[in-house]
Amino acid sequence: MFRVHKWRCSCALERKAIRRAPHRSLRREQTLQFKPVRHSILLENKDNVLQPTGSYPSSPAPITLRLNVDNDSHPSSSLAASSDSVLESSANTTVYNGWLFNNKAAGILDLSTRKKYSHLLSVATSKLPLYDIRASNGRNPNLRKNTKLIEPCLTARQAAIEASRRRPRLESARDEELEQTVTVLLQQPGQGYSKIVDDDSWQQKLRSQHSHLSYMLQLQQQLQTQIQLRKQHLGRSISLQKIVKAELNMESEQKKDIEQQLIYQIGIMDDWVQCRNLHEVFSATDHLRGPVVAALLKRLAVLLASPKDRMGMSPAEGREFLIFTRTLADAAVPVVSELTAQHVGWVMYSLACLEMTESQELVQDLLHHSGELLIQQLELLSGAAAAGRRELEISSDVQIAGTAGSRRRSGSLKAGSNGGSPSGQGAPEALFVASDYASIMWGLGTLKQRPSPAWLDALCSCCVSRLDVFQASQLWGVLWGFARLGHVPQKVWMERWLMCAERIFREFDIEGLCHVIWSLGALRYVPEKVWLRACIGQVQSKYRSLFPQQMTQLLEGLAAIGYKPREEVCMSLQAQSRRQLHAFSAEQQAVSLRAMAMHSKWQPQRQFLYDFVTHSQPKLNSMTAFQLSSVIWSFACFKYLPDGSYTQSLVNLLTARLEESGSHSGPCLSQAVWAIATLGLKPSYRFLQVWSLKSRQSLHKFTPQCLSHTLWSMARLYNRMEDAKENIKLSRAARKSKPDVQLLEGLLLRCSQELSSFSGMEITTVISSLADLQYRPSDEWLISYVQETERRLPTLQNQDYGLTIASLSTLAAPLDARWLQVFVKEAGRKWWSMDLDGMALLLHGLAQYNFCPDSREWWAGFWQESEARWEKRGSEAAGQRTLAVLSLSLGDLLTTAPSKVWQRNLRRAIRLSFPKPRTSADIPVMLMQAAGRDEDEPISEVPWLKTFFAELATDWRFPMVLH
């Protein structure tokens, strides 16, 4: 019997009226044109037989056919040719019932062979309505350039669809019962599939898979026949007593056989509809067990791994696909216990690829079942370890006993232990392999389904000994899963992982390296610098392959672990980012810029910032409030102020985003106001009101860092000091506004709750900001603050001591002599870390409390370190305010004069910093104004201070000297 093997046809291409090379001729006879001229179909044969099978063997002799048909006629009516049609033949061509044979291409040389092919054609054309008529233009760019596609007319298109849009998959001979079954399944689908088909593409796709559904039904019948034949053979071959036991063995073998056949069929499927056909046909039987369902899910993940593949579906196909995936997930729940570790990895990987986040029940069952498998794996590993220890003890005894005994015992050891397995059957079988660990962890990380810490620790214990066989993608997949779940593995596991990764760094692609850096940053695990340099070295060698998403991950991970690469690496990363700024999304632009700003030593070039402003301006409208605040915060960290229009639009959009949402995160609000205060912008009254309102609503989300930054920014914005360098030039509305008292009270309440979590710098910033705002908290709050500060005194650095005592004195905080003594003792140990500003503030605070340290070592350290500052920086060591505060505070504290050299350095710095007053009597007034003291506040009357003013007047060459 003749069978159709393969045929295809495509829309004809009409040649454009342009010149083209002779060797680029268009073979028009191999295409099908849906115009009223002709149709042309290409058939391939093998051994004079055309077969519609699932596999497509190569055909050495293609036949080219042409068919003339009218515009309104049905193609299938002309295709069904009778056997007694007129045959016209020649040496090169054969015309049969309107078909034109190319005898040269078919290898036809004589008339008898042509007659044989004519009979073959009459049989083949009767089967053509079962197969697809495909329309596509050529893929040759020259062909596409020199030709144009003729759109098919409506009648011809409908005729082609009616001729069945199907690919040959089965043998053409099918009985009537099978045809009726296929028709019923297509018209009345089960398993909750929708009967509504609302677009042509989905209807065409269903028809194209008609033959595959028939093949699945045939396969089911064949499997049932095999089972019956085996049972009959079993009954004839053995006695009745052994039938029951043999049937059980046979059933288990048959199930494995059928599972293997079904899994093989699933592996060669090229469309998800074929997976649905198999599930539809075999769902009523008991063959659709756990491994088969896992294989179906895995095949779906392979076929549609990328979201872009699913986005190309039509609406009807998308709904049907969603229903099918949910059906598969429901079918997998009862058979979870049948899954092996490999199948668990398949299912978890597939759920993540297909983004089936609603399958919570299936994920929980998988976690429970995999937990049992992990326990079995741990038992096997512990048994192997115990056997290994016993073998080591026996071998040591053998060495002590002697050579003869050694031979006997070693022989018995080899016969009994057999590789350290408790059962004596070899090494323990590994339930999990490297790909299983990677698939499970990657799937859990993608789905964000966090198991219990005990489950994660058990997985770490199982895979720690197998990390050396992991591939590069499996290594980063496991670590990435832990990072997404927020679980930090044990130190032993991390050290072994780093060692295995360092050994195969060259095998990592750029995506894997970026995932590794990001995961380490998410886990807050900082490896050694040698390891980081090796990893970043691999990144530098492949940085040209970085895409926006990978660049964002890399920069974010480096910022989280606090590592700044070498300068040349930073320049390379900035150059690659600058080249792709146009391709960055709004979120990626904000995240990458904020990651650079988080490292204080990473300063991008001005050209990079300028290009960032240019490419980010069109995308500002799509940014969220946090992203907008991150952008302006990054500019403040870089000390870069963009042009006025960009900055104004950035602040306006930020204000609008804050108004739209009800609540915001603490970092979003704190970094926004901090950036505005740092850059010296002019905030509008509307921004201040909106920001205050949203801050009051989100106080519970403020961290200690957010609290300190917010108070500092408020002090900077609402500062009442007259120094032009310290004040921000606000708008008129902003100048009339005052700090929000309700917000300040809420911030102080939140500070009292988080005082134990503040760092030394943050706790100092809080009290200094309150002093600048001239807002005094309650005595209870100040007492609790003083107690916490006493506990944190050893952690203070630089100017923290001076700011703390000066701010407490400004707020009139109640301090006793004991606390002051402890404070002075700790501050005396940190003279080396202070500059003259911090020293002056420290002396000013002590003078306000009228507390003079009586330790000579304390004062000796002060004189020594301050003289070192004079010698190192000279007149640039301090400003006017620092010099004035230092002079007046020493006059309030000391009754004995400092050394002559020290006084001479101080007078020289004053003369270089201050303008010469009109008279010598204006010198004390000038210093009082610079120190910020009131005019009616008395000056110390100690003799050495008067002498100091007189010598200062002499240095300025005034005619009279103060007494």
Mean pLDDT of 282-287: 77
pLDDT reading at 71 higher than 70 = no
Q: What confidence score (pLDDT) does residue 597 get?
A: 92
Q: Which residue has the higher pLDDT, 85 or 274?
A: 274
Instruction: Compute CA distances 524 → 558, 562, 834, whole Å.
Output: 10, 9, 32
Which residue has tokens 């917000």?
Answer: 743
At 297-347, the pLDDT tens digits run 999 998 887 777 777 788 888 888 889 999 999 989 998 988 999 999 999
pLDDT in tens, 568-618: 999 999 999 999 999 999 999 999 999 999 887 788 888 999 999 999 999
- Final residue in a domain of this structure, among 343, 375, 407: 375
Structure tokens at 903: 């006084």
Q: What is the pLDDT of residue 201?
A: 79
Q: Among 375, 402, 435, identify where a domain stops.
A: 375
In the chain, pLDDT over 90 holds for what percent of residues?
Answer: 35
In a domain, 403, yes or no: no
Domain C-terminal end among 310, 340, 375:
375
Mean pLDDT of 761-783: 92
Report, as an integer, the average pLDDT of 872-881.
Answer: 72
In 647-676, which positions are buried (b, 16+ CB within 10 angstroms) versus exposed (e)? beebbeebbebbeeeeebbbbbbbbbbbbb
pLDDT in tens, 135-182: 333 343 333 333 333 333 334 444 444 444 433 333 333 344 444 443
What pLDDT is attached to residue 676?
92
Q: What is residue 149's predicted lDDT score, i.e. its pLDDT?
A: 36
Q: What proportion of the chain, given as a percentage, has pLDDT over 70? A: 69
| Domain assignment of residue 924, yes or no | yes
The answer to whether the CB of 501 falls within 8 A of the CB of 478 is no
- Residue 678 falls inside a structural domain: no
pLDDT of 203 reads: 82
Of the listed ranges 364-368, 406-410, 716-720, 944-948, the least confidently predicted one is 406-410
Domain hosting residue 899, numbered range: 874-962
pLDDT at 460: 92
Instruction: Give dist(CA 436, CA 442) in Å, integer.
Output: 10
Q: Is residue 261 part of a domain?
A: yes
Per the domain annotation, does 359 fall within a domain? Answer: yes
Q: State the Cα–Cα distance between residues 534 and 540, nearest whole angstrom.
A: 10
The pLDDT of residue 305: 77
Amino acid type, 490: Q
Coil/strand/helix, residue 639: coil
Taking Cα atoms as reference points, which of 723, 733, 657 lies closest to residue 690?
A: 657
- pLDDT tens-digit profile of 421-451? 333 344 445 688 999 999 999 999 999 999 9
> Does 499 map to a domain?
no
Of the candidate ranges 234-238, 534-538, 557-561, 618-622, the one whose mean pLDDT is the lowest: 234-238
Q: Identify which of 166, 177, 248, 158 has the alpha carbon closest to the alpha carbon of residue 206.
A: 166
Q: Are 834 and 864 in contact (CB under 8 A)?
A: no
Does pLDDT of 90 surpass 80?
Answer: no
Tokens, residue 139? 């893929």
Q: How many CA atoms lie within 13 A of 587 on its CB side?
A: 3
pLDDT for 143 equals: 34
Three-state SS sequence of 471-510: CHHHHHHHHHHHHHHCCCCCHHHHHHHHHHHHHCHHHCCH
Query: What pLDDT score does 25 carry?
Result: 33
Domain membership flag for residue 702: no
Residue 89 identity (one-letter amino acid): S
Quote the pLDDT of residue 552.
94
For residue 122, the model assigns a pLDDT of: 65
pLDDT digits (tens, 9 = 90+) for 413-422: 233 333 333 3
How many structural domains are present in the chain? 2
Residue 742 has pLDDT above 60, yes or no: yes
Examine the pLDDT at 643 and tell me if it is beyond 80. yes
Dig out the tokens for 112 from the structure.
Answer: 């008898």
- The length of the chain in residues reads 963
Q: Give me the mean pLDDT over the 247-274 stretch.
A: 79
Task: Supply the pLDDT for residue 722.
Answer: 36
At 863 the three-state DSSP class reads: helix
Report pLDDT for 6.
Answer: 33
Q: How confident is the model at residue 551 (pLDDT cuts 50, 70, 90)?
A: very high
The predicted pLDDT at position 112 comes to: 61
Tokens of 104: 């040269």
Flag whether 270 is in a domain: yes
| H or E stretch at 95 | strand 93-96
Nearest-angstrom CA–CA distance, 269 and 101? 35
